[in-house]
Amino acid sequence: MREVILVGLNHRTAPVQLRERISFPEEDLDRYLKELQDLPSLAEGLILSTCNRVEICAATRDPEKGVKEIKSFLAHQHHLSLSEFEDTLYVLQGEELVRHIFRVAASLDSMVVGEPQILGQIKGAYRAAHATRSTGTLLNKLFHKAFSVAKRVRTETSIGNGAVSVSFVAVELAKRIFAHLEGREVLIVGAGEMCELAAQHLVSGGVKRVLVTNRTWERAMELAERFQGEAIPFSELPNALLRTDIVISSTGSPDFVVRREEVSEIIRKRKNSPLFFIDIAVPRDIDPQINTIDNVYLYDIDDLQEVAEANIKDRRQEARRAEAIVATEVEKFCRWYQSLEVVPTIVSLREKMEGMREKELDKTLSALPQLSEKERRAMEALSEAIVKKILHGPITLLKKTGRNSEGELYVDVVKKLFKLDEE
């Protein structure tokens, strides 16, 4: 029977410097998924790669071998030695894994509890895996259930009220640097979902103007127009820094898009007017060395944890209600999983007993050619009734225990008693 395993790291186990080295670029995810499918012991696989976590979830008949192959896969794909990051990895199986997936989807394991972005990211990871046929019965069921659990949490609790996200926390930090946002100019570098959310919060906070720059000019124009702002060519990024107060960056660049040397010259031209950077990209967009420059402030995604903790306090009561929902759904899913082996065992048991009945009945009828058709039908009905009586007890027990922790034990006993594994 296949089991689901998960190997991963997140913002609690690994710093951003490591997470950015192990992240999987979205544009190459199909290739990584196909290579994951090539691992001998894995039957299904999914890769979730976000700013805060990198996790590989897989179905396998050999969990121990599967875990080893996934760890080696992570090391090989990112040109790292396993010893460089193995101690930051967690390995999950069984009920613990199901609870983890449901909690992540419900945003109970996020840096900011209740932020909605993670569910969209999981759905994106699932769509990519499903499109490459990397998922099958187990992962399909697990992730569809995770989506419904997340929806139930959102519907039955207030954990998502006042939408809090990493981008919102970034704005809260901006308010700490500047007494207020009114009259400030903001530069958004990148035009993805995170940047769009940041722009929404900043506009709500009263910023005077939003500037947007992106390597794709059409996307920059689109986002700038949405916020009645101004699009800036990506090549003009250094000049844009001269006129802005706050920079929020989240691109997919593998290299820094803003470097210390540039900022050092810009801050001099600005006559030391404060410049605030929030880098919510993984890999990071902003050279961390700019923090050494006077009147320049830089926070990366890990720095947002401090503000996130303050936001979490307001959601703890709702989080407790959400945890109760998750616990109920985990129990339901585990009952379904435990029953997977029961159904084929019942089918095998019935088929074996029916085969034995037919064989013995044929032998008996062959030895009694004088029997009438009515008598033959009577003997067949008798044999069927006897088999049903014999099977009633074992099948009833399997159906009953298949929904609890004893199911696996009784499946094994029935297989041995009736020698179902010998065929």
Same domain, yes or no: 132 and 186: no
- Evaluate if residue 402 carries a pLDDT over 70: no
Contact 11, 305 (CB under 8 A): yes
Same domain, yes or no: 102 and 86: yes
Domain boundary among 162, 187, 202: 162
Residue 299 Cα distances to 189, 245, 276, 284, 305, angstroms: 15, 14, 8, 11, 10
**Under DSSP, is residue 246 helix (H, G, I), strand (E, B) or coil?**
strand
Residue 157 Cα distances to 46, 318, 320, 330, 403, angstroms: 29, 6, 10, 18, 28
CATH code of the domain containing 19: 3.30.460.30
Domain boundary among 109, 130, 162: 162
The arithmetic mean of pLDDT across residues 42-65, rounded, is: 95
Domain boundary among 162, 194, 220: 162
pLDDT in tens, 87-106: 999 999 999 999 999 999 99
- Evaluate if residue 49 carries a pLDDT over 80: yes
- Nearest Cα neighbor of 293 from 251, 262, 250 is 262
Residues 6+ apart with CB under 8 A from 304: 111, 112, 166, 169, 170, 173, 278, 280
Q: Where residue 404 falls among pLDDT bands split at 50, 70, 90?
A: low
Question: Which of 227 and 114 is assigned the larger pLDDT?
Answer: 227
Same domain, yes or no: 182 and 100: no
Q: Is 395 contained in some domain?
A: no
CATH code of the domain containing 233: 3.40.50.720
Same domain, yes or no: 7 and 150: yes
**CA diameter of the chain:** 115
- Evaluate if residue 161 carries a pLDDT over 70: no
**Under DSSP, is residue 370 helix (H, G, I), strand (E, B) or coil?**
coil
Partners of 212 in the β-ladder: 188, 231
Residue 422 Cα distances to 16, 390, 407, 418, angstroms: 53, 20, 21, 9
The arithmetic mean of pLDDT across residues 315-336, rounded, is: 88
Domain count across the chain: 3
- Evaluate if residue 146 carries a pLDDT over 60: yes
Same domain, yes or no: 219 and 126: no
Same domain, yes or no: 10 and 158: yes
Q: Is 397 contained in some domain?
A: no
Q: Where residue 195 falls among pLDDT bands split at 50, 70, 90?
A: confident
Same domain, yes or no: 104 and 135: yes
Same domain, yes or no: 131 and 176: no
Catalytic residues: 51
Report the alpha-carbon distance of residue 222 to residue 199 in Å, rounded: 13
Size of the chain, expressed as the number of residues it contains: 423
Q: Is 176 contained in some domain?
A: yes
The arithmetic mean of pLDDT across residues 143-153, rounded, is: 96
**pLDDT at residue 67 in the model:** 97
Q: Is 374 contained in some domain?
A: no
Residue 99 sits in which domain range? 3-162
Residue located via tokens 């499946």:
411
The arithmetic mean of pLDDT across residues 243-255, rounded, is: 90
Pairing of strands 53-60, 3-10: antiparallel
Same domain, yes or no: 234 and 185: yes
Q: Is 328 contained in some domain?
A: no
**Under DSSP, is residue 283 helix (H, G, I), strand (E, B) or coil?**
coil
- Nearest Cα neighbor of 190 from 219, 166, 170 is 219
Helix and strand element counts for the chain (H, E): 16, 10
Same domain, yes or no: 182 and 259: yes
Dihedral of the CA atoms 286, 291, 293, 297 (nearest 10)? 90
For the record, the structure tokens of 232 come out as: 């800036």
Q: Is 355 contained in some domain?
A: no
Q: Is 365 contained in some domain?
A: no
Q: Is 239 contained in some domain?
A: yes
Same domain, yes or no: 108 and 207: no
Partners of 42 in the β-ladder: 60
Lowest mean pLDDT among 125-129, 205-209, 360-364, 408-412: 408-412
Residues 6+ apart with CB under 8 A from 170: 198, 201, 248, 278, 280, 299, 304
DSSP 109-147: SSSSTT-SHHHHHHHHHHHHHHHTT---HHHHHHHHHHH
Please state the separation of Cα 235 from the chain's center in Å.
Answer: 35
Same domain, yes or no: 10 and 149: yes
